[in-house]
Chain A
Amino acid sequence: MSMTEQEILAGLGEIIDEVAGVPADQVTPDKTFVDDLDIDSLSMVEIAVAAQDKFGVEIPDDQLKDLKTVQDVIDYVRRAAVSA
């Protein structure tokens, strides 16, 4: 069963709300984590761990630094889910 972009976005919104206290409605695909959402590298690790629990997709630390926007994470999760 593949997840739609909307489902991943909604899941990410919940995660980012919980990890970083950013309201889910502010988590839109074009937002950058560092500049727009004020999320630092350690919070990105927490988001990756929570994403693994939620989506079943592992995001290693060396991939994390390339995921700059919410859309980047959505794309990564979709790609990884397809190849899994």
Chain B
Amino acid sequence: MRLTEGAPGARILAFGGYQPAQVVTNHDLAATMETSDEWIKSRVGISSRRIAAPDETVADMATAAGGKALAASGLAPVDIDLVIVATCTPEVQIPNTAATVAQRLGIGAPGAYDLNAACAGFCYALANANDAIRAGTARNVLVIGAEKLSHWVDWTDRSTAIIFADGAGAAVVGPVTEPDELPGIGPVVWGSAGHMADKIFIADRNSFIFQEGQAVFRWATTALHPVALEACKEAGVDPADLAAFVPHQANLRIVEAIARKIGAPQAIVADDIVNAGNTSSASIPLALSRMLERGEIGSGAHVLILGFGAGICYAGQVITVP
């Protein structure tokens, strides 16, 4: 039997992000529930978030973000041979989101699948893309994180309504082609903690998202920095040399607590949650696309990404930004 011949490494060619038009501020929420701008900012660090229109779907947002990343990559749709959509909020079980997104973007007949690792989804999908390119089962991969959490939020429950939001982020991943070119995606460090499955869940299709905030906070602020440090070690990158740390935008206090424990003095710490809310699998590529747009991170810089959430699932890797 013959085997595929892979690339020596993979790299991210471009990012793209999409946020729905409707802005919901803390003041808007305070008008309908017992909360305040000050309370929300101090607890989770969010000022405003974006909410999808009632008829706007996960596939719509994924297509918008994917289209931007594809355009910025310089590749043609035909060059993509695998599409992975990380999402935990698809409207339907079948068909999957990825095939629809691929068709809308004019990507011929790629491999296409959805992946559910909740808020860690983008990092899982990026690891899959990296492995597929290195194994030779795909050449160029479109990786998307897209979520419509607003559909699953009880808008009278202040413990979740203030946190979750909608959006999408995408990355185009391709092979390292030049002999002297370094790979741009480091080894993934991933894992799960199934004994904490009951800390974040949606019980069934008629239920709202539930989160045991304190338990998740305690876990995130104590269990994750070793994962982040291990990802740096595996990639051979000293945390002191990181240009940015872009963890899942779960809660600004979790983000800051992990950042303190990693000890990366040069790294810009992503705070996209302030105006995006918690968009689960979309939060990392969305934050990165905006940091790159604003010129906060230079091309070729090392960035540590770290996803974590329901499952519990987590994953982190060092990447080189395009």
Contact = CB atoms under 8 A, between A and B. Distances in A.
B4 interface: no
A45 B214 CA distance: 7
Contacts of A64: 214
B218 A61 contact: yes
B43 A40 contact: yes
A46 B214 CA distance: 10
B290 interface: no
- Taking residues whose C-beta sits less than 8 angstroms from the other chain, chain B's interface range is 10 to 19
16 contacts: A40-B42, A41-B213, A41-B214, A42-B43, A42-B217, A45-B214, A45-B217, A45-B218, A45-B221, A46-B221, A46-B257, A48-B218, A49-B221, A61-B214, A61-B215, A64-B214
B109 to A, nearest CB: 48
Query: Taking chain A's interface residues, is the majority helix, strand, or loop, or is none over half, making it mixed?
Result: helix
Query: Taking chain B's interface residues, is the majority helix, strand, or loop, or is none over half, making it mixed?
Result: helix
Contacts of B207: none
Contacts of A40: 42-43
A21 B221 CA distance: 18
Contacts of A46: 221, 257
A49 B42 contact: no
B222 interface: yes
A60 B220 CA distance: 15
A69 B43 CA distance: 21
B214 A49 contact: no
A46 B220 CA distance: 11
Interface string A55-68: 00000010010000
Contacts of A48: 218
B253 interface: yes
Contacts of B218: 45, 48-49, 61
Nearest to A41: B214
Given A61-B214, A61-B215, A64-B214, A42 B253 contact: yes
Contacts of B217: 42, 45
A69 B146 CA distance: 44
A40 B217 CA distance: 13
Contacts of B222: 49
A52 to B, nearest CB: 9
Given A41-B213, A42-B253, A45-B221, 16 more contacts: A40-B42, A40-B43, A42-B213, A42-B214, A42-B217, A45-B214, A45-B217, A46-B221, A46-B257, A48-B218, A49-B218, A49-B221, A49-B222, A61-B214, A61-B215, A64-B214
